[in-house]
Structure formats: structure tokens, C-alpha cells
Structure 1
Amino acid sequence: MEGATQHWRVASGPQSLRTVAILGVLMAFASISTDLYLPAMPSMAEALGTDAGHMEWSIAAYLAGFTLGQLAWGPLSDRHGRRRPVAGGLLVFILGCAGCAMSGSVGALVCWRAVQAAGASASVVIARAMVRDLYRGPRAARLMLTLMTVMAVAPLLGPSVGGLILQVASWRAIFWTLAAFGGATLAALSWLPETLPPARRTCAPLSAALGAYGQLLRHRALLGYAGVAGCYFGACFAYVAGSPFLYIAYFHVSPQWYGMLFTAGVSGIMLANQINIRLLKRFSADALIRFGTGMAALAGAVAALDAFEGWGHLCGVAIPLVFVVAANGFISANAIAGALSHFDEGAGAISALLGSVQYGTGMVGSVLVGMFAGARSTLNVIAWMCVASMLCAWLFLPGRAGKRHAITSPVPTR
């Protein structure tokens, strides 16, 4: 009863707005860790004596660290509560940022990016689990969308801020800025309440929780949501990895204008989030996911065709890519909330598995861009990943929301 009372106070007390704000900052670590240094990638490649393909491995390494880190942080938060693992992850993140700032070769940068990602993953996976601690169903989807709107400020400002830093300092200052951001967030945790009381925590060892991932993967609904979000993230990170060279090197726009083009896509996400919040009152989350994946697949195909045929030059590619990125507002939050709604326990482990599939597929997208460096190859990867996401939405998602039912997670609790 005491745990339930504490849980109710966190969800509806006067501190709820502060809690939502801190959760939004925690979820922003997924994007700000990469978006801030995107405008510096061409100059970093020159300073470190490497090429575009090798620099894009720094994004792949980040995604690898993020994927594996989530698999550990999720069960740890189910066992030890949410706040302590978040604090530990932030310390690892700060260490990784410092290592990136002092890197003298692309190999060292790639390794430290993996460390940075392992720490950042704790913030994201545990923030999503905390949403599940507080709410379920449509309310969880709306809160997730609110958080995604808040966290959209990071990619909205990240490339522009990175470009401004480059005007007054070297690329290393970008990573020192990220380390300072991590330190400020660590201090803000003193205002974040614990959303998982001891009575609701798991007692099984970490090895048993890790072994339960195989059982989770047997659930068709979870596989459907993971496939949708994963393939779409593959397209998004192919865009993140390839867009600096697509816009700056191929279309010869300045780093500052690149930031504006990137901002256009993120503004589309924020608008789509707000539309989605209103549409959730009339349509199921699954229907909106299918709409979003269809929009992304169509826009991705148009961008690839425009590049192949030479239609529209920069606008012929940039405008469809805005729609690809904006589709995130209909896909990610709905997929996460939909998957979590099927399980009564183990939100941390389930959130970790979803995130790992997302960022693991994102790593595949960025690696493909690095292997087949070139404007057309980047757009082809984006288009095919979006089509795969659409197929997962139509073939594997459950039916109408009314047919869903919550089931007990196979994650061990004792």
C-alpha cells in the first residue's frame, strides 16, 4: 500500500511537471549525443586524417554501445530502482565525452563513442520505463508523445548549436559541452522521484533477467512493434549518418545551413507529435503507426527517385526527407507504448529490448551508409528501411486496440 501511495503521488502530485521535464531531458541524450557534432564531421575527418566512410563508423560505434548498454541497464533498473542506474549511466556518459574530446585518432574516437553511448543508453531506456511506471495505455502514449516533443528540442537545436561552437572553437569543444550537459543532468536527478518502489522490484539475478529476453522475443506483438520501430530507426540513422555528407559535401551547403535543414525535419516531428496526440482520441495507435510508416515509405521512395533522376536538385531530396523524419511523430511513441501495454511487469527489460532492436537496426542503417558512401546509396538505404517498417506494421501488428490484452512478463520477479 505504501508503494502504491508513493506511485500515485509521483504520477499526480505537484512535482509531476518537473518530473516530465527531467524525463524529457533524459530521453534527449539519445539524439543530442550525435546531433551536436554532425556539422563537425567533415572537419573532424580532415583533422583526424580519415575519410567520410571511417567517420561514419563513429555513429555505428555509438549505436552499438547504445544497443548493448540498454540490455544491461533495463534489468538493473527493474532490480535496483530507476534513479541509481540513471546516475551511474550519466557518469559513464561524462567519461565517454571526455575521451572523445581528447581523441587523437579516428580509432580512439570510435571506441570512446561506444563508451559514451553505453552511458547515454541508461537515461533513455530508464526514462521510458518510468513512463510505464506512471501510466498505461493511451495515457502512456500521450505522455510519451509529450516527452518526445520536449526531447525534440535537442535535435532541433543540436546541429545549429554545433555549428555555432565550430565558429568559435574546434570540434573538441563540442564533446566538452556534452560532458557539461551530462554533469548538469546528474545534478538535476536530486529532483527526480523514484517511480519503482521496492515492493514492485524484481529479485532475480541479472543473468536470469538477461536470459528472459529470449522468451520476450516469442511474443508476436512485441516482435511487430520492435520490427516497426527498428526498421524505421534504421532509416533515421542512415539519414543521420549520411546527411552531413549528402548536404555539405554533395550539395555544398554550409554547416549552418545544414543545421537549418536538419531543424526542418525535427520541426516536422514536433508537428506530427501534436497531430498524433489529437488523433489518438479517435484512432488506435496501431492505425496511426500504419499511417506513419506508409508516409515514410512513400517519402523515402520519392527522395531516392528524385536523386536518381536528378529532379529538383536540393529541394527534390530535402523536402521528401522532411516527411521521412516527421513520420517519427506517428511511429516511435505509439510503438513503444503499444509494446509496453502488453506486459504487466518488467517494464525496464521490455523497454531495453525495444531500444536495443531500434538502435541495433539503426547501426545497420549507418553501417550500410558507411559501406556504400554516396548520396544515392544513402537515399536508397533510407527508402528500403522505410518500406521494411511499413511491411512490419501491416503484417505483424495486432488488430484493433480493443483486442489487446495485458499479459504477465516472462522476466523473472523472484
Structure 2
Amino acid sequence: MTPRAVPARHKLRVLMILSALMGFGSISTDFYLPALPTMASSLRSASGTIELRRYCLLFGLGVIGLIAASLVNARLVPRFGSGRLLLAGTSGAAVAGIVLAVDACTGLGGLASLALPLFCFVCATGFIVANAVAGALAVMPDRAGTVSAFVGTIQYGGGILGSALTGALLSTRLLQPTGR
């Protein structure tokens, strides 16, 4: 995405959309962190070391997947362009999110069936975040510092919003996982 590819009248809209995608990464990642105690109880697990080990393993695999996706993204950008890879990342996240939602609603498969789509969802974030930042900076290169600060604010704000929404939904029992 080059600055000339975006007409001047649309630059602010494009910047807002790309910044929202940055916030999406934080919102989606921070949704499952505060939900851990409820997930443990719905899986009939007491809070203890075994559950902590499972969570740490899943979290660590997610981080490895995110890093690997970012490295693959860096190799693919020259060949396919950041716009296509951003679309691929958002499409992959959407598919993985739908699979996660169906699994959460049906309760089929237990924790094992949540692990693969969650891993794919987190990996998709490796494509979304890098390409959204690159696209946002390309829209207004003459204001790179301001754009970077704005994108960072949206990203952190998304994480805060995701955690707050999860806590609110869990406290009102609207987002209680099904018993497994």
C-alpha cells in the first residue's frame, strides 16, 4: 500500500480502519486472558498447577505461532504485498473465530478442540498487526510519529476494552462457557 494508492480525501478513513484492525488484535487476545478462571471451572478443573501448566503451554504455543506468523509475513510481503496479506490475516482470523464460537456454543471436543482454532486465530494476528501498521504509516508518511502514536493508542485501548468486556460478560453470566 503506497501513499499514492489512497486518495487524499480517504486517508483518514483508511487510517481509522487500519488502526481498528490493530485494536482488533488486542481485543481478541485479551478476551481469553481474564476468562481463564471461568474456563477452568467449566472444564471441571480446580485452580492448581496442572491447569496453570496447560494454560502456560497454550499461551506459549500462541506466542510462538504469533512470532512465526510475523516472520513468515516478513518473507511474503515483497512477493504478495501487505494489502493481500492483511486480507489473508483477517480472513483467517474470521474463520478461526467462527470455529471457536461454534465450539464454545456446542461444547464439543473440550479444551483440545479449542486449542487449534485459538492457535490459528493468534497466528492470524501476526499478519494483521504488522500489515496494519505498515499500511497506516504508508497512508500518512509525513505524520509518521502521530500515526504511530494513534495506532498504539488504539492497540492498547483495544486490549483494555477486551479485558473489560470479558469481565463484564462473565460477571453477568452472558459469556459462561458450556459445561464440558
TM-score range, shorter chain: 0.7 to 0.9
Structure 1 distance, partners of 2:83, 2:157, is: 23
Q: 2:128 — aligned with what?
A: 331
Q: Any idea what the Cα deviations from partners look like across 1:305-355, whole Å, max 9, x if unmatched?
A: 112112111111122111111111101111111111222333222111111
Identity among equivalent pairs (%): 36
Residue 224 in structure 1 maps to residue 21 in structure 2: no
Structure 1 distance, partners of 2:176, 2:82, is: 30
1:163-312 matched pairs, under 5 angstroms: 219-242=12-35, 244-251=36-43, 252=45, 253-312=50-109
Asked whether the 8 Å contact 2:65–2:122 carries over to 1, the reply is yes
Asked whether the 8 Å contact 1:307–1:376 carries over to 2, the reply is no
1:339-358 matched pairs, under 5 angstroms: 339-358=136-155
Alignment partner for residue 377 of structure 1, among 153, 163, 175?
A: 175
Q: 1:361 — aligned with what?
A: 158
Structure 1 distance, partners of 2:145, 2:41, is: 41
Q: Any idea what the Cα deviations from partners look like across 1:70-95, whole Å, max 9, x if unmatched?
A: xxxxxxxxxxxxxxxxxxxxxxxxxx
Structure 2 distance, partners of 1:345, 1:315, is: 48
Q: Any idea what the Cα deviations from partners look like across 1:214-271, whole Å, max 9, x if unmatched?
A: xxx97122112112222232111112332x2255343325212211111111111122
Query: Structure 1 residues 365 and 317 mapped into 2: Cα distance closer, same or farther (>3 Å)?
Result: same
1:88-127 matched pairs, under 5 angstroms: none
RMSD over aligned CA atoms reads 2.4
Question: Match of 1:354, SS?
Answer: helix
Gaps of 5+ in 2: 3-9
1:48-63 matched pairs, under 5 angstroms: none
Asked whether the 8 Å contact 2:11–2:140 carries over to 1, the reply is no
Q: 1:319 — aligned with what?
A: 116
Structure 2 distance, partners of 1:300, 1:311, is: 16
Question: Match of 1:219, SS?
Answer: helix
The TM-score with structure 1 as length reference comes to 0.37
Structure 1 distance, partners of 2:140, 2:103, is: 43
Structure 1 distance, partners of 2:96, 2:174, is: 15
Asked whether the 8 Å contact 1:248–1:258 carries over to 2, the reply is no
Letter in 2 for 1:294: S
The TM-score with structure 2 as length reference comes to 0.80
Asked whether the 8 Å contact 2:11–2:139 carries over to 1, the reply is no
Structure 2 distance, partners of 1:376, 1:307, is: 13
Letter in 2 for 1:361: G
Question: Match of 1:255, SS?
Answer: helix
Structure 2 distance, partners of 1:353, 1:320, is: 30
Q: 1:63 — aligned with what?
A: none
Structure 1 distance, partners of 2:37, 2:23, is: 24
Asked whether the 8 Å contact 1:239–1:378 carries over to 2, the reply is no
Q: 1:210 — aligned with what?
A: none
Larger radius of gyration: 1
Asked whether the 8 Å contact 1:304–1:376 carries over to 2, the reply is no
Gaps of 5+ in 1: 1-136, 138-216, 380-414
